[in-house]
Amino acid sequence: MTGYIVRRLGMIVPILLGVATIIFLLMFIVPGDPARLLMGQHGDEKVLENIRREMGLDKPVYVQYLRYIAKLSRGDLGVSYRQKRPVASIIRERFPATAKLAVASTVIAVIVGVAAGIIAALYRNRVVDWMVMILSLTGISIPVFWLGMMLILVFASGLGWLPVGGYGRSGDIRHLILPAFSLAAISIGYIARMMRSSMLEVINKDYIRTARAKGLSEKAVILHHALRNAFIPVITVIGINFASLLGGAVATETVFAWPGLGRAAVDAIRVRDLPVVEGCVMFLSFIFVLVNLLVDLSYAWLDPRIRLDGRKEA
Amino acid sequence: MDYRKIAGEKFGLFFNQIRIILYKIELQYDAPHGVPGTAPENLDLYTRYYTQRLFMKKCFMAWHSSLVMTGLAFFIAGCGSVHDDSARIFRYRLATDPPTLDPIHTTDTASAAIVFRMFEGLVEQDPATLDVVPSLAESWDISPDGLIYTFHLKKGVTFHNGREVTSEDFRYSFERCLTPENASERSWVLAPIRGAADMLEGITRTLEGIKTPDPSTVIITLEKPFAPFISYLAMEAARAVARESIEGDRFVPIGTGPYRFLSWTHDIMVSLEAYEAYYQGEVSVKRIDYEIIPDVGVAFQKFVTGELDFVDEIPPGQLKLIRERYPDAVKVWPFLRNEYIGFNHTRPPFKDNLKLRQAFSWAVDRRRIVEDIYEGAATPATCILPPGMKERDDTIEGYGFDLGKARRLLAEAGYPDGKGLPELSLWYNNNELHQQNVQYIQSTFREIGVNVRLRSLDWPAYLKACEAHEPDLYRLGWVADIPDADNFLYILLHSSQIGAPGNYSGYSNPEFDRLVNEARVSTDSEYRKKLYREADRLATEDACWIQIMYAWERILINPAYEGLVLPKQGDFRIPIEKLRYRGTGS
C-alpha cells in the first residue's frame, strides 16, 4: 500500500511538468503581449522596451521557457506581471476561499444528493422517483450564473435574509450560503442520479436478499449492507467533483463576488498574466492528482476486496 | 402518519433554530453600521431597506420574547440612538481588483480611483472646469521659452506618516518613476524632462532636469518646450510618493492625499480612512471601502439593498428603467471620451480614397445609436475632440446621416452600389454595447450595398491585431489622460504614433502633423487652440475615422450624499472628500 502511494505521488512531477509546458505554449500561441497590455492604449515604444526587458520578455521563447522551468524546479512559481507580487502568495490568499466554498457545496451536495438518490431508488417508478429525477435533471441543466442571480433576487434582494454577495468577514457563514447552494445544484443532480442507479443495482443482489431473509430491519439492510456497496461509483463522482471545485468555480465566484482561485485564473488569462495562469493551473492539477489518489484509496476502505497495489488477495 | 407529523415538527423546530442563529448573526454584523434613527424622507433606497429589516427584526422579536431576545433588542435600540453618521463607510464598487496602488504603475481606472484619493502632485486638474489648479505647489512660473518650470511648494503639508513634504520628495518620486528597474508603465509622463531619456536607458541614475535649491522650491527643466507638460504633472505618475512607502519588495502607499491606506484584501476590498492631519481640513466621509464586485447586475442589487453607496456603471440596456425607479440615484454626464470606427489607411480600399471614407461616414445614423443603444446617454460625434475640451470647435459639422449622399460618394469612389469592393472586415472587442453598436453599423452599410463581416476578439488579441493594422475597420474609443487636445490628436492620429503608440489606423497627413507639432511646442494657449481646431477640422474633412459618438459616464450614487462633483475626466476622479452625508443634520 505504501509503495502504491509513493508511486502515485511520484507521478505528480511529470504531470506537472507536462501541464507547465502545455500552458506555456498555449499562452504563446494566443495573441496578446502582456507587457503591452500593462500600458493601456498608448504603448510608448521606449517604455515598452523597458518593461519587456524587466519582465524578461525580450528573450527568445525557449530561453523564457527554460528560465521558467528552472525556477519551478526550485519551487518558485514566479511573480505576477500585473500585480508584481509572488504567484505563490496569490494562490495562498485565494485558496481558503475556494476551499471553503468547495467543502460547503460538496457537503450540501452529498447530503442532499445521496438522500435523494436512495429515496428515488426505494420508490422506483413511483411519483417520488420521478420528482427526484426531474429535479436532478433540472439541477444539472440550470446554468450556474442564472441560478445564482435568481437566488440573489429571491433571498437577498427580495426577502433580505442573506447578503447579496461578497466574502464577508471571516467566520461569517451567511455569505457562504447562497454561493454554496447554487454551486451544489449541479453536483446534487449528478450524485442523486448516480446513487439511484447504483442503489438499484445493489438492491437486487443476492446478499441483500439474504440480509432481508435473516430478518434484519429494512433500515439496517439499506444503510448497512446496500449503501456501503452502492457508494463506490458515487465516491468517484464526488471526488472528481470536489477536485474540480477546488480549482475554482468561475461563474459562481463571479456572480457572488467570491475571491476564489477560478476568478484569479480567468482574470489572469484576460491580461495574459502567464505566471499566474501557470501557477493556478498547476495547483489545480496537483489537487486533482491528490484527490484522485484519495478516491482510489477510499475504494479499498469501502470494499476490502479491492487491492490497490495490484497483488492478488491471499 | 404519526411519523410525518413528528418529522414536520422536528423540521419546524430546526428551522426556527436556524432563524435564531441568522438573527443573532445579523445583529452582530449590523451593530457597527447601526440602524439610522431618523432617515431623511428622500432616502428611499435606504429607508426601505432598513425599514424592511427592522420589520423583520420586530417579527422575530414578537416570536421569541425570551429574556435574551429582549436584552438584544435593547442592545440594537441602544445602537440606534448613540450611532452617529461619522462612522458611516462610503462603499464604492470596483469591477476588478486594482492591479496596483502604486502611482507609477497606475494605468487603469480601478487603481486610479484609489490612487487619486491617496496621492497628490504639484498641480491638480479641477474635475469640473478642467483648469490646472494648485495642489502641493502654491504657485508656479513658466519661463517665456517654455523650458523652465519653477514650483513653490505649500508649507506644512505632511505625508500620511507625519513627515513634512519637501522638494526632495519630488526629486525622489520622479527619479523612482524613471528608474528602468522599476519598469513604470507611465514613465512617458515625465519623459519631456531633460535627462529623462538617459535615465530610462540606464545611462544615468539621477535626473538632470530637476533642481531643488531649497525645501520648498522645485525647478524642472524640459528638453524642449512642451505645452501639455503642466497637465502631465497632474497625472498619477507625477504624484509625490514618500520614500517610506518602500519596505523591501513591498509597496505600502504613503502620500499626502485626504485619505490614507488602511487595508487591502485582494479581490475582496481596499479600505482607506480619512487622514486626520490633511492640510485642506477635515473631510466628512471618514472611510471608503472599495468592494470588488465583478458582476454589474449583482453590484446593482447590492446598491438596491443598501450594501453599496456607489456603483461605477449601469447595466447595459437598463439605464432608462433604473432611472425611472431611482431618479435621484442615477447620474449621467458627458466626459472626455470619443468612440469611432477606424479605417485602415495602410492598404486599399480605404488608403488614399477620400470619397470612399466619406461615403461610409455619411451612412451611419449616429442619433439612432445614441438613442437605441446608449439610451440617450451619449452625444452624436461631429469631430475628434469631445465637448468639454477647450480646443474643441463646435462649428465643425462633421457627417450627418444621408444614405443618398453616401451612395453617390460610393459611386464616385469607384464602387457603385458597393460593386467591386472586396469583402471588408469590421472588428470589435467582446462587449455587449460594442457588439450592438457594430451590428447596427453592419446593417446600415448593407443599405448602401456594402457587406462587412464582423469579427470579435478579447482585448489582448484585439489590441495586437489593431496595432498590426489587420482589420479593414475597427471599433475603438479613447478617454483623455489629460484634458489637452494633444492627448487626442497627437497620440491617435500623428504619423509618428502609427502602431503601438496609438495611431492604429495608420492615418498620415503631413499638414496635420505640422499643425500638431507646432501646437505641441507653442506656449501661447490661444494660438495652440487655433492650431488644434484647424487640425481637428482637417482630419474630420479627411474622414480619418467614422466619428460615432461621445459616450457619457453613467453611475449610481446614494442620494443621501451631497456635494457630488461630476468630473469631466470620468467617475474615477470623483472627489469623495467633498461628499457629505446628509443625515448628519442633528
Q: Write out the DSSP string of B185-201.
A: TTGGGTTTBTTHHHHHT
Distance from CA of B447 to the nearest CA of A (A): 33
Residue B564 has what pLDDT? Answer: 93
Residue B190 has what pLDDT? Answer: 94
Cross-strand partners of B158: B164
Using CB atoms, which residue from A34, A160, A168 is nearest to B52?
A160
Pair B27, B12: CB distance under 8 Å: no
At B57-77, the pLDDT tens digits run 443 333 333 333 333 333 333
Which pLDDT band, with edges at 50, 70 and 90, does B239 fall under?
A: very high
The packing angle between helices A227-246 and A87-122, to 10°, is 150
Residue B85 has what pLDDT? Answer: 56
The whole-angstrom separation of Cα B323 and Cα B317 is: 11
Looking at residue B35, the DSSP 8-state letter turns out to be -
* Percent composition of chain A: helix, strand, coil (DSSP 3-state, to 5): 75, 0, 25
Alpha-helical segments (H) within B295-448: 296-304, 319-325, 354-362, 366-368, 403-412, 432-447
Half-sphere exposure of A288 (CA within 13 A, CB side): 14
With H, G, I as helix, E, B as strand and everything else as coil, classify residue B413.
Answer: coil
Looking at residue B574, the DSSP 8-state letter turns out to be -
Q: For residues B9 and A230, which has the higher predicted lDDT (pLDDT)?
A: A230
Distance from CA of B82 to the nearest CA of A (A): 24
Interface touch A263/B292, C-beta < 8 Å: no
Cα–Cα distances (Å) from B66 to B22, B28, B45, B60, B141, in that order, read 17, 18, 32, 11, 74
Q: Dihedral through CA B291, CA B296, CA B301, CA B303, nearest 10?
A: 50
pLDDT in tens for each of the 314 residues of chain A?
788 888 888 888 888 889 889 988 888 888 888 888 888 888 788 888 888 888 888 888 899 899 888 988 888 888 898 888 899 999 998 888 888 899 999 999 999 999 999 889 888 888 888 988 999 888 888 888 888 888 888 888 888 888 887 787 766 788 888 999 988 988 899 899 999 989 888 888 888 888 888 888 888 888 878 888 888 888 888 888 888 888 778 888 888 888 888 888 888 888 888 899 989 988 888 888 888 888 888 887 777 777 666 554 44
Q: Which helix (H) or strand (E) holds A265?
A: helix A261-270
Query: What is the bridge-based pairing of β-strands B269-274 and B246-247?
Result: unpaired
Residues 6+ apart with CB under 8 A from B82: none
The packing angle between helices B44-63 and B67-82, to 10°, is 160
The whole-angstrom separation of Cα B512 and Cα B510 is: 5
Peptide bond into B349 cis (omega under 30): yes
Residue B212 has what pLDDT? Answer: 94
CB atoms within 10 A of CB B472: 21
Pair B222, B206: CB distance under 8 Å: no
The whole-angstrom separation of Cα B199 and Cα B553 is: 38
Pair B451, B418: CB distance under 8 Å: yes
* Location of C-alpha cell 453617390: B408
Pair B218, B170: CB distance under 8 Å: yes
A103 touches B: beta carbon within 8 Å: no
Residue B583 has what pLDDT? Answer: 66
Cross-strand partners of A278: none
Using CB atoms, which residue from A39, A174, A259 is nearest to B268?
A259
Handedness of CA B156, B159, B162, B163 (dihedral sign): negative
Interface touch A84/B105, C-beta < 8 Å: yes
At B176-207, the pLDDT tens digits run 999 988 889 899 999 999 999 999 888 999 99
In sequence order, what E strands does B66-187 have?
Answer: 89-94, 123-125, 132-134, 137-142, 148-153
What the block records as the C-alpha cell of A150 is 435568481
Q: Percent of chain A having pLDDT more than 70?
A: 96
Nearest CA in chain B to A49: B183
With H, G, I as helix, E, B as strand and everything else as coil, classify residue B305.
Answer: coil
Distance from CA of A116 to the nearest CA of B (A): 17
Residue A171 has what pLDDT? Answer: 60
Give the residue-averaged pLDDT of B567-582.
92
The whole-angstrom separation of Cα A235 and Cα B348 is: 63
Nearest CA in chain B to A29: B461
Pair B228, B520: CB distance under 8 Å: yes
Residues 6-65 of B with CB under 8 A from A: 22, 25-26, 29, 49, 52-53, 56
Using CB atoms, which residue from A152, A173, A174 is nearest to B301?
A152
The whole-angstrom separation of Cα B428 and Cα A26 is: 23
Residues of B in contact with A156 (CB under 8 A): 301, 305
At B310-339, the pLDDT tens digits run 999 998 888 999 999 999 999 999 999 999
At B138-180, the pLDDT tens digits run 999 999 998 999 999 999 999 999 999 999 999 999 999 999 8
Give the residue-averaged pLDDT of B25-48.
34
Residues 208-267 of A with CB under 8 A from B: 254-257, 259, 263-264, 267
Pair A152, A161: CB distance under 8 Å: no
Give the residue-averaged pLDDT of B418-425.
90
Residue B260 main-chain phi, psi, to 5 deg: -120, 160
At B289-306, the pLDDT tens digits run 999 998 898 899 899 988
Distance from CA of A229 to the nearest CA of B (A): 28
Residue B37 has what pLDDT? Answer: 31
Looking at residue B276, the DSSP 8-state letter turns out to be T
Residue B339 main-chain phi, psi, to 5 deg: -140, 130
* Length of chain B measured in residues: 586
Residues of A in contact with B461 (CB under 8 A): 30-32
Q: Which helix (H) or strand (E) holds B457?
A: strand B452-457
Half-sphere exposure of B559 (CA within 13 A, CB side): 17
With H, G, I as helix, E, B as strand and everything else as coil, classify residue B504.
Answer: coil
Residue B220 main-chain phi, psi, to 5 deg: -110, 130
CB atoms within 10 A of CB A194: 22
Report chain B's mean pLDDT, rounded to a whole number: 84
A55 touches B: beta carbon within 8 Å: yes
Pair A84, B105: CB distance under 8 Å: yes
Interface touch B188/A167, C-beta < 8 Å: no
Nearest CA in chain A to B183: A51
- Closest to B301 measured CA to CA, from B291, B373, A105, B436: B291
At B73-96, the pLDDT tens digits run 333 333 333 344 557 899 999 998
Pair B228, B146: CB distance under 8 Å: no
What the block records as the C-alpha cell of B197 is 531619456
What the block records as the C-alpha cell of B231 is 497637465
The whole-angstrom separation of Cα B156 and Cα B578 is: 21
Residue A13 has what pLDDT? Answer: 86
Pair B485, B447: CB distance under 8 Å: no
Nearest CA in chain A to B201: A50
Looking at residue A222, the DSSP 8-state letter turns out to be I
Cα–Cα distances (Å) from A14 to A4, A6, A74, A289, A309, in that order, read 17, 14, 15, 12, 21
Residues of A in contact with B49 (CB under 8 A): 160
Q: Is B316 exposed, middle or buried (0-12, 13-18, 19+ CB in 10 A)?
A: middle
Interface touch A30/B185, C-beta < 8 Å: no
Start-to-end Cα distance in chain A: 15
Cα–Cα distances (Å) from B394 to A84, A108, B551, in that order, read 45, 63, 17
Handedness of CA A177, A180, A183, A185 (dihedral sign): negative
Interface touch B305/A156, C-beta < 8 Å: yes
Residue B483 main-chain phi, psi, to 5 deg: -80, 60
Using CB atoms, which residue from B293, B298, B500 is nearest to A43?
B500
Which pLDDT band, with edges at 50, 70 and 90, does B44 fall under?
A: very low
B293 touches A: beta carbon within 8 Å: yes
Q: For residues B500 and B134, which has the higher predicted lDDT (pLDDT)?
A: B134
Q: Dihedral through CA B62, CA B63, CA B68, CA B70, nearest 10?
A: 0
Residues 6+ apart with CB under 8 A from B59: none
A51 touches B: beta carbon within 8 Å: yes
Residue B484 main-chain phi, psi, to 5 deg: -130, 135
Interface touch B107/A39, C-beta < 8 Å: yes
The whole-angstrom separation of Cα A54 and Cα B266 is: 24
CB atoms within 10 A of CB B131: 11
Residues of B in contact with A45 (CB under 8 A): 500-501
Residue B89 has what pLDDT? Answer: 92
The packing angle between helices B44-63 and B2-30, to 10°, is 130
Interface touch B305/A157, C-beta < 8 Å: yes
Residues of B in contact with A41 (CB under 8 A): 463, 476, 478, 502
Cβ-based contacts under 8 A for chains A and B: 156
Pair A157, B301: CB distance under 8 Å: yes
- Closest to B407 measured CA to CA, from B362, B452, B443: B362
Nearest CA in chain A to B45: A157
Residue A34 has what pLDDT? Answer: 86
The DSSP string of B367-435 is HHIIIIISTT-EEE-SSSSPTT-TT--TT-------HHHHHHHHHHTT-GGGTTPPPEEEEEES-HHHH
- Closest to B133 measured CA to CA, from B120, B144, B145: B120
| Number of helices (H), then strands (E), in chain A | 15, 0
B133 touches A: beta carbon within 8 Å: no
Interface touch B185/A47, C-beta < 8 Å: yes
